[in-house]
Amino acid sequence: MKRVTFRAWGIRPEAPRAKIPAYAMRREGEGATEAIARSIGRATGYVVVTCSPQGTSLVQGRAESTHYQLTLGTPVARRLGGGYSVEGTVWIAVPVGAA
């Protein structure tokens, strides 16, 4: 397992802010964003419904981190139509070397 540090911001609603971890432990064969999504899901109790790439931040012309927007949700019972109820969003920055 490999430790992947990341930054999170723009958490909506504010309630899960304290529950977002500062790092994720990457399992064998797992990508950095997969590990982070699993870690956030476990810490908040929400499911990461979507993970959308939002670009790369540059520092002095070099790629520093890749940004993603995660949508958090809770499962909706099949008898009520199934799918997920959107509960919030969070943006994360994953260092380029971690991917």
pLDDT at 82: 87
Query: 54 pLDDT exceeds 60?
Result: yes
When divided into structural domains, the chain yields a total of 1
The CA-atom distances, in angstroms, between 27 and each of 8, 14, 38, 73 are 21, 29, 11, 23
* Global pTM value: 0.80
Q: Which residue has the higher pLDDT, 77 or 13?
A: 77
Nearest CA-CA partner of 51 in 98, 19, 94, 95:
94
Q: Which domain holds residue 83?
A: 2-98
